[in-house]
Structure 1
Amino acid sequence: MSQSSAGDLLAELESAGVRVWSEAGQLRFRAPQGVMTAERRDALRARRDEILAYLDTAADPVTLVPDPEHRHDPFPVTDVQAAYLLGRGRPSPTAGWPATATAS
């Protein structure tokens, strides 16, 4: 497992389902069972300081700020919602009927 940078190593771990973070100067991780092989643990240990520095300088976390004045403003629908609404239109005589199936 030769990684060119701490970011590459973290990207590989993330794609395997491993979450890595810094907490009080310590490197922490959470991974699905069996994902953190000895090779991956060794790579984390070997690059611990580099990974901690990378995590500290990575993009700032998003801060959510309440906006009570606009809490009831409409927001755009998602792609899935738009597709659902489009599929419920009536471009043909049978459009608009929900799909159902029954079996006896």
Structure 2
Amino acid sequence: MSENDHNISQEEIVELQEKFREIKSTINNLLAAMMALSEMSQRRPEFSEKLASVVLTKAPLIVSSLQEVTQALNEKAPRSPQIVSSLQEFTHALNEKAPRSLCVRHFAVGW
């Protein structure tokens, strides 16, 4: 497969970056809510049930969000069975192709 088979236009990169930003924000918000409930449940045990409920309902949303961004990237290179296997690899791939001003930044949690 030639290098041209995987060329992504600048517009497609910007589109992927926007999707990544939206999903990153959603995931960060969900994780922040889970962490807050976790801290509250240490002080007030009645929050443990709420934490369990949030984790059970929101964890699938995180997984589906990651699958959505992976699918969007894979659609841009249909000949490749899978371009990225991790969010970190996805971030690295976008940063290699994007101009410096548009580079995606890593999460504070180390992704």
What's the TM-score once normalised by structure 2's chain length?
0.27
Structure possessing the higher relative contact order (Cα contacts under 8 Å, 6 or more residues apart):
2
Whose radius of gyration is greater, 1 or 2? 1
Q: Which has the higher helix share?
A: 2
Q: Which has the higher strand share?
A: 1
What's the TM-score once normalised by structure 1's chain length?
0.28
